[in-house]
Every structure is written in C-alpha cells, then in structure tokens.
Amino acid sequence: MKEETPVLKGKTKKELEEICVSLGLEKYRAAQIYTGIYKSRYTTIDQFTTLSKEVREKLKEHTLYPEIEIGRDLVSKEDGTRKFTFYVGENKEIEAVWIPSGDGGRKTICISSQIGCTLNCKFCATGLLEYKGNLHTWQILDQVLQVERLVGDRATNIVFMGMGEPMHNYFSVMKAAHILRDKDAFGLGGLRITISTAGVTTGINRFIENKEPFNFAISLNHPNPNARSSVMDVNDKHPLEKLIETAKRFTKELDRAVTFEYVMIPDVNMGRDNAERLAKIARSVNKCKINVIPLNTDFTGWRRPTDEEVKEFVMHLKAKTTAPILNRRSPGRDINGACGMLALKGIRSETTK
C-alpha cells in the first residue's frame, strides 16, 4: 500500500520533526515550519523564507499544504457577525462564524468539528443534515486560519460550538485545541478556548482524566430526566442523571466551573418548575454557570420566547441559585449564524424579530 502523503497543517511539533527526519531534513526545521504555519499564518510553502529554497522544494514535492475552500461569506446587518461556508471535500460543507463583541474587545470564532452531526437535537438545524464524517485536525484549524484571513483580524476566543459533536471527534478536536493554546502556535491560552458537548459522558470523563486545560460547556436544555430525550436524543445513551454525576466529577477533580448551555423553549423547558429543577442541578454541581439562550429555530413548530418570558425564567432561576446566569445574545440570526442555526443556509427569508 502506498504511504499517504503527509499534510503539514494540523501537525504537532513532534510530528513535524518526524516528517523532517523522514525527508532527510534537520530536526530543528520542524520548529520553523510549526511557527510558520500557526504563528506567521503562511498560506504557501514559498512563504517559509527561513527555509532554504532546496528545503521548500522538498516539502512541496513530498508533503501537502492544503486549505479548505471558501464558499459563502454572509455578513449580518444587525451586529457584524459573519458566517462562512467552507468546502472540505466533494459534496462536503461546513460552517464557521466570526462573532465580534459590541465593543470590539472580544472576537470569537465558532468552529465545526464534524461534517453534519451524529446527534439529532430537536432545536438544532445541523441535526437535519446528513452526517458525512469527522473533520481532520488540519481542517478544524484551517477554519481559524481562513476566517482570520477573510476578516483581516485575529480571534481572541475559539468555541467548538459549530457543526458536530466535539466528543465524537475527540482526538482531532483536542489536538487542534492544544495547538490553538500553544504559545509557539496560535498562543490563545486554555481559558480562551471552549469545548462543548451535548452530554457525551464518555468524552467528558476522558477530558477529566487527561486534565485538559480548556473551558468546558454542556448543552443541558432540559432539567427533567424523563423529558430531556424529547429535546436531545443523546439523553437516551447518556441519561441526565449520569451527566450530572459526571459534571460533579469535573468540578471536583479539575477544580473549575463547568458551563451549562440552556436553550429556552416555551411550553417545553421553561416555567417555574423547570427553573427550579435547573437551579437544583446548579446547586448540586456547585461550580457552574448557566448560559440561557432564546430558541433561534422554528422548524419544529416551537417558538422563540418573548423577552418577558425570558426575564421571568431568569428571575425564577436567580431566586433558587447563586450560580452566575448569562442571557446570551443570538448574534447572526439574520444570516442563520446563531446557536442551532448552522445548516448551510443563507439569509433568513422571514423577518427577524
């Protein structure tokens, strides 16, 4: 069997050393290649001018330096959010979102980990797509490289909250996250990178055992163990009771807070009873914060809560827990770029209210 040509992007420094040695190059060249890819953001091998022309020619002959291909670039008229569609293979598309804060201080890129998704959360448009595989590490990182190039700016934060379930592509996601964190690469630091999950407890336990240094978010979305499966099918395999015990283990062993993401759906997971159940979970986990998010999709027949309904739900929550509660805005709704809306669609046809 012919050996596969190595891709330079997505490789750790050690892996680049192995490639250099296999090509008869000095091992120290790996550090030059590593910083060139991730710190200098070179787009072609010819830009690696710290390498001799002979070395560059050898790399071009024996390695690959691909990039994902930009499709659509949509800009929100409401808040400056930009959504990008990228091609990662024949009939394979993913999306990433650039989310600038109102004051310009925080610049977040929301990136995808899979082509489609292995799960089917009822409120999430990505779950309606055909699952077409995991992304390679280089394709995950290239979303950051391409978005930064397209917007002409650098991200301050990265969230693995785009298409796919990160825990179902654990090793590629974590490898990408460590490169994003590395001071010799992207240099973001662990607390500026957030890994999310719909509640895959096996992945969370692996995260804990490996003592991963990143922020962690769990999409909870229903506090009732008997009703959560009606919103998220992951609950069938990883039930809520087990998920909460795993979250407790997370805060105890890693000594830091976990974030619960909670998409608010009227007549499904809101009201006083659900607020009290959610608060009880927060109290039991101890170190946590809660991000509440108004429903953004409407294909299920569910509706987005009114501002008054959100205010009342948060009021009930605050009465029963001291956990920090953030009402997360929904940037990019007009371009289908907000939470739960990534489904390779363009601008919403209906009026956003």
Residue pair 137/144 in contact (Cβ under 8 Å)? The answer is: no
User: DSSP of 83-116, one letter per residue?
Assistant: EEEEEEETTEEEEEEEEE-TTSS-EEEE--SEES
Q: Annotation-wise, does 344 bind a ligand?
A: no
Residue pair 258/247 in contact (Cβ under 8 Å)? The answer is: yes
Q: Annotation-wise, does 117 bind a ligand?
A: yes
90 annotated active-site: no
Q: Annotation-wise, does 196 bind a ligand?
A: yes
Residue pair 100/106 in contact (Cβ under 8 Å)? The answer is: yes
Catalytic residue among 20, 110, 288, 339: 339
Q: Annotation-wise, does 220 bind a ligand?
A: yes
Q: Annotation-wise, does 284 bind a ligand?
A: no
Q: Give the angle subtended at the CA of 193 by the CAs of 134 and 340, to the nearest 5°.
A: 55
Report CA dihedral (225, 231, 237, 240) to the nearest 10 degrees: -30
Q: Give the angle subtended at the CA of 309 by the CAs of 353 and 292, to the nearest 5°.
A: 85
Tokens 């909250």 correspond to: 161
Which residues fall within 8 angstroms of residue 135, CB to CB, at 6 or more apart?
88, 94, 112, 113, 114, 115, 164, 169, 172
CA separation for the pair 352, 113 (Å, rounded): 28
Q: Annotation-wise, does 221 bind a ligand?
A: yes
Q: Annotation-wise, does 219 bind a ligand?
A: yes
CA separation for the pair 190, 259 (Å, rounded): 15
Nearest-CA neighbor of 116 among 72, 169, 157?
Answer: 169
Catalytic residue among 95, 212, 261, 288: 95
Phi and psi, residue 159, nearest 5°: -125, 130
Q: Annotation-wise, does 124 bind a ligand?
A: yes
Residue pair 243/222 in contact (Cβ under 8 Å)? The answer is: no
350 annotated active-site: no
Residue pair 23/62 in contact (Cβ under 8 Å)? The answer is: yes
List the binding residues for [4Fe-4S] cluster. 117, 121, 124
Residues designated as active site: 95, 339
List the binding residues for S-adenosyl-L-methionine. 164-165, 196, 219-221, 296
